[in-house]
Amino acid sequence: MSPSTPRQSSTRARAWGFLLPALLWTGAFFLAPLVIMALYSLWQRVGTRLVTEFTLVNYHDFFAKSFLLKSLLNSIEVTLIVTLVSVLLAYPLAWILAERVPRRWQRLALILAILPFWTSYVVRSYSWLLVLSEGGILSNLLLDLGITAEPVSFANNRGATVVGFVHFFVMLLTLTIYANLVQLSPSYRKAAADLGAGPLRSFWHVTLPLTLPGIMVGAFLTFVLCIGDYITPQILGGNRELLLPQTIMLQIARRSDFPMASALAMVLMAVVSLVYLACARWLKIDRV
Amino acid sequence: MTSRIRGITRRHGLLLGAAVLGAGLSFSATAGATEELNALVWCDHTDPALIAPFEEAHGVKVNLKEYEGTGAALAIVEQSRPGDWDVFVIDGVDVPRVVEAGLLAELPADQLPLNDIFDQVQMTDVTHKDGKMYAIMEKFGYNVISYDKSKVDPADMRDLTSLWSDKYKGRIAVYDYYIPLMDLVALKMGMKPDDITADKLPAMKEELFKLKENSVMVGEVVSSTTALATGEADILIGGGEWAVAVMQAENPNLDWVLPDQGGILWSQSLAVFKDSEKKDLALKFVQYIMSPEGQARLATSSCFWGMPANKKAGAALSDAQKAALRWDEQEAFLAKSYRYFIPDAELDAEMLDVWTEFLQH
Amino acid sequence: MRGPLLHLLRSLPLWGYVLLLYGFIFLPVAVLVLFSFQDSRLPVPPFNGPSLRWYEAVFSDARLLEALANSVVVALTSSLAAVVLGFLAAYALARHRLPFSGLLQGFLTAPLTVSYLIIAMGLLITFNALGVPKSLLTVGIGHVVINLPLCFAILYSQMGDHQANIERAARDLGAREWQVITLVTVPMLWPALFASFFLSVTFSWDEFIIAFMVSRFDVTLPVEIWSMLRSGLNPKTNAIGSFVFLISIATVLVLDLVVFRSRKA
C-alpha cells in the first residue's frame, strides 16, 4: 500500500474541507478578537482618545491600585467557595439519581433539575433578591416560625452572591457527575465487593476516584463560568465589594476605557489558563 | 429501524428548516417599510405611551437604544458610522464635552419653547456655545434623600449629617452614581459641589467610607428602589422623586425631601446629531417631546419620573402627579439646588477611582 | 418485616436530601411564578390575591414579544450552525488521521475556557474596529462561538470505533461518502446531535452578556428584560419569566412524546 494513494489524499482533502469552516469561524470570531484585545490592553485611553503607543501602564495600574487587585482576589475567593460548596452538594444528589432512582425515572429527574433554569437568568437572580431580602420570603418565613423577632436580610452581600451561584452550579455539577456515574461499569464495584470491601470503602476507593474526571470537568466549568459572571454579583452583591467582572464593566460603561478593560480581561484569562493547566489531565475528551 | 430513524430525522429536519425560514421571511417583510428615526436614549424614553403618539402622528418608526452611562453612549457613538444616529438624550453634565467633540447639530432656537422652561433649568451656558443652541433641557429632578416616613423621623431627613450618625446605621441604601453622591458629600462637608478639587478628595474619601459603613447596599436604580420597596433599606441617599414617585400610589409611606444643606439638580437634555440624515424628523421629535403633552408623558414615564422642563406641562399633568413631583415647591427647591459638578478628564478619573475604592470598601 | 422497614428508614435521609435540594432549585422559580400573579405593582411580599394583569401587560408589549421572537430565531439558527460546524469538524478529526490533531482539538474547544464577558468584549472591539454594524446577526455569530466547542466536544466523544466499523461496512457495500454520512453516521449519532442542539439552544436562549454588548435595536429577550428592569422591579418580568418557563415545560413534554416515544416504538 503506497503511502498516500489518490483515494487517501482525496479523503484527506475532504477531511480538511470538513474541518475548515469550524477552524475559520473559531479563528475569525474567537482568536482574532482576543488578539485585538491583547493589543488594546497595551494601549491607553487618554481623555477621549485612544493612544496607540505600546505601554504597560494599564497592567501597572492594576497591580498598583489595591482596590483593583482586590477585585481579582475577591473573585478567586468567591469562585473557590462556590465550586467547593456546589461539588459537595451536587455529588450526593448525582449519586442518588444514578444509583437509587429507578432507571425509568432518571431522565425525568434530570429534566426536572434543568427546567427551573429555563426561566430567564436575569429574572431568576432578581427572584433570589426577593427571597433573600429583608421583608422577603425567607425573612417572613423565619418570622412566622418564630425563629426571629424582626425581619432579617440575607441579600446584598457575598453570601447572597454565593447562594445565587451555587443555585445554578449545583445543577450543572449534578449533570456532569451523573453522566460520569452512569457510565461506570458496575463490575468495578462488584469486584471490590467480592474482594471484601464494604459499601463505604468501595465508594471511597473505587467509585470516587473513577468519578474524579466528571467532578473535575464540572468543577472546571463552574470555575470558568463563575469567575467571569457579571450579573449575579451585580444583582445580589449589593456592591458591598467588587468582583473582577464588575470592575471590567465599570471601565466600559463609565469611562469607555477599553484598554484598561482589556488589560483586566487579560488578567482574568491568565488566571483561568493557570487553573486549566492545573486540571488539564482530567479535561481531555475521551472517545466512547 | 434505520428507515424509521431516517424518517424522523427528515421530518424534524424539515420542520426545523421551515420554522427558521418562516421566521426569517417574516422578519425581512416587516423591516425597511416605514421611515425610521434612530435615538440613543435613557430608559424613560422607551415608554410606549410616550413614543406611540409621535409614531402614529408622523407615520414613522422610532428605534430606541438605551444606554447605561454617558461613557457607554459615547462609546456606541464612536463605534458607529456617520448617519447611524439621529437623536441623543444626554445627561446635562455631559453636554459641553459632546458639543466640544463636534457631534451635535445646531438647533433652531426660535422653533423650540426655550422661554417656557424653568429659569434655572434653561442652563444656556451648557446648551449654547458661541451663541448657537445645541441641546435643550427636557427633564430635571433632584438627587437628595428618599425615605420611608413610617420608619424614620422625617425631621432628620432634612439634615444630611444625620445619615452619618449611628442612628440609621444599616438602614441606608446609596445610589450608585458617583457625581451626585460625591456632590452630596461635598454639601455635607460644607462645601459647594463646584469647590471639589483633587486635594479635597482624600477627605471626601473618608466621609464616603463612613457612609459605606452605615449603609446596607449600593445599587443602581432597580436594586436601590427595590431595597426601599422591600424594606431592606429605609433611606436612599441620592434618591429623589424619580425613585419613589412610581411606587407612591401603592406605598404612600415613601417620600422624598431636599435637605437643608441643599440638593443636587440632575437634568437631561435632548439633541440632534450633526451627521443625522433625518434632521427635519429629528427636530419634529424634539418639538414633540418639548410640547406640553410630550413633557407630561415624559415626566411620568414608566422608567422614572421627573419634573418636565417646560412649565406649561403643568396643564397636562393631574393633581396627584403634581403632588408626587412637589410641583408647588419647585421654585424653592431650585433656589437651593446645585448642578452636577463637571470635572475635567483628569479629576474625573480620580473621582472614579475614589468611587471604585468606596465600592470595594 | 424488618427488612423493608429498615430499608425505608435508611433511605429516608436520602430522599430528604433529594427533596431539600430540589426545593432549593425550584425556590426562586416558585417565587417567580407566584408573584407573576401579584395584584400590586411590586413583586414583593405580601402577596395580593391572584391577578392576570401582568400577563395581559406582557402580551400587549410589542417590544417584549419581538424580543421573544428574536431570541427564538437566534437560538435556533446559531445552534443549527454550531451543530453542523461541530459535526463536520468532529467527523474530520475522528475519522481521519490529520497532523496536529491534538492541537486542533484544543483550538476548537478553547472557547469553553474563556468567559462569555471576554468573548463579548472581544467581539465588540473587533466589530467596531471593522465597522461591522451590530445586529442580531452579530449576536448569532457570538452564540455560535460559544456553542461550537460544546457541539464539537459532545459529537467527537461519541464518534468511537464502533460507529467507524459500521461506516466502513457501508463504504465497502458501495455507499458514497455523502451517503455514509447522511444515512449511517447521522442516524447513529442522533442522540448526540440532539443533545448538542438542545444544549446549544438552551445556552443561546438565555445568554445575556454577548447579546447585550453586540446588539443595537433588535434585542433578544434577556436584554429586553434587563432594559425593562431598569425601570424598577416589575411583576411583568415575573410574568414573562413564568411564561417562558411554561413554554419550556410544554416543549419538553412535546419532545418527549414525539421524539423519544417514537424512537422506542
Q: Is residue B25 part of a domain?
A: no
| Residue C181: pLDDT over 50 | yes
Question: Do B148 and B121 share a domain, yes or no?
Answer: no
Read off the CATH number of the domain in which B83 is found.
3.40.190.10
Q: Which residue of B has its CA nearest to A156?
A: B217
Q: Which residue of A has its CA nearest to C238?
A: A123
The verdict on a CB contact (< 8 Å) between B231 and A151 is yes
The grid coordinates listed for B182 are 460625591
Question: Do B176 and B37 share a domain, yes or no?
Answer: no
Least confident of B312-321, C176-185, C255-264: C255-264
Q: Is residue B61 part of a domain?
A: yes
Question: Do B49 and B111 share a domain, yes or no?
Answer: yes
- Which residues in B lie closer than 8 A to residue A240 (C-beta atoms)? 217-218
Q: Is residue B311 part of a domain?
A: yes
What is the ipTM metric for this complex?
Answer: 0.82
Size of interface B-C (CB pairs under 8 A): 88
Question: Do B57 and B86 share a domain, yes or no?
Answer: yes
- CB-based contacts of C167, cutoff 8 Å, min separation 6: C95, C180, C184, C185
| Residue B332: pLDDT over 90 | no
- C6 pLDDT band (50/70/90 cuts)? confident
As a three-state string, the secondary structure of chain B is CHHHHHHHHHHHHHHHHHHHHHHHHHHHHHCCCCEEEEEEECHHHCCHHHHHHHHHHHCEEEEEEECCCHHHHHHHHHCCCCCCCCEEEEEHHHHHHHHHCCCECCECHHHCCHHHECHHHHCHHHHEECCEECEEEEEEEEEEEEEECCCCCCCHHHCHHHHHCHHHCCCEEEECCHHHHHHHHHHHCCCCHHHCCHHHHHHHHHHHHHHHHHEEEEECHHHHHHHHHHCCCCEEEEECHHHHHHHHCCCCCEEEECCCCCEEEEEEEEEEECCCCCHHHHHHHHHHHHCHHHHHHHHCCCCCCCEECEHHHHHHCCHHHHHHCCHHHHHHHHHCEEECCCCCHHHHHHHHHHHHHHHHC
- Which residues in A lie closer than 8 A to residue C88 (C-beta atoms)? 18-19, 21-22
Question: Do B316 and B293 share a domain, yes or no?
Answer: yes
Q: Is residue B22 part of a domain?
A: no
- Which residues in C lie closer than 8 A to residue A40 (C-beta atoms)? 125
Question: Do B353 and B222 share a domain, yes or no?
Answer: yes
Q: pLDDT tens digits, residue range B86-124?
A: 999 998 888 888 888 888 999 998 888 888 888 888 888
Q: Is residue B244 part of a domain?
A: yes
| Residue C71: pLDDT over 90 | yes
CA distance C257 to C1: 40
Q: Is residue B20 part of a domain?
A: no
Say whether residue C227 is in contact with chain B using an 8 A CB cutoff.
Answer: yes
- B154 pLDDT band (50/70/90 cuts)? confident
pLDDT at B2: 41
Q: pLDDT tens digits, residue range C84-130?
A: 999 999 999 888 888 888 889 989 988 988 889 999 999 988 888 88
Question: Do B212 and B230 share a domain, yes or no?
Answer: yes
In chain B, pLDDT over 70 holds for what percent of residues? 90
Question: Do B157 and B230 share a domain, yes or no?
Answer: yes
- Which residues in B lie closer than 8 A to residue C51 (C-beta atoms)? none
Domain count of the fold of chain B: 2
Question: Do B132 and B232 share a domain, yes or no?
Answer: no
Highest averaged pLDDT of the listed ranges A243-257, B327-341, C134-148 = C134-148
Q: Is residue B4 part of a domain?
A: no
Mean residue pLDDT of chain C comes to: 85
pLDDT at C264: 47
pLDDT at B281: 92
Which one of B28, B226, B253 makes the best mutation probe of the C interface by having the most chain C beta carbons within 10 Å? B226
Q: Domain range holding B68?
A: 33-140+266-337
| Residue C60: pLDDT over 60 | yes
Question: Do B241 and B173 share a domain, yes or no?
Answer: yes
Question: Do B224 and B93 share a domain, yes or no?
Answer: no
- CB-based contacts of B155, cutoff 8 Å, min separation 6: none
Contact C209, C222 (CB under 8 A): no
Nearest to C122 among A15, A34, A249 (CB): A34
State pTM to two decimals.
0.81
The grid coordinates listed for B294 are 410630550
Phi–psi pair at C156, nearest 5 degrees: -60, -40
pLDDT at A8: 66
| Residue B22: pLDDT over 60 | no
| Residue C234: pLDDT over 90 | no
Please, what are the domains in chain A? 67-279 (1.10.3720.10)
Q: pLDDT tens digits, residue range A25-74?
A: 999 999 999 999 999 999 888 766 778 888 888 888 888 888 888 999 99
Q: Is residue B19 part of a domain?
A: no
Question: Do B246 and B352 share a domain, yes or no?
Answer: yes
CA distance B124 to B310: 15
The verdict on a CB contact (< 8 Å) between B65 and C216 is yes
Q: Please give the DSSP secondary-structure letter assigned to residue C36.
A: T
Q: pLDDT tens digits, residue range A88-143?
A: 999 999 988 888 888 888 888 888 888 888 778 888 888 898 888 887 788 888 88
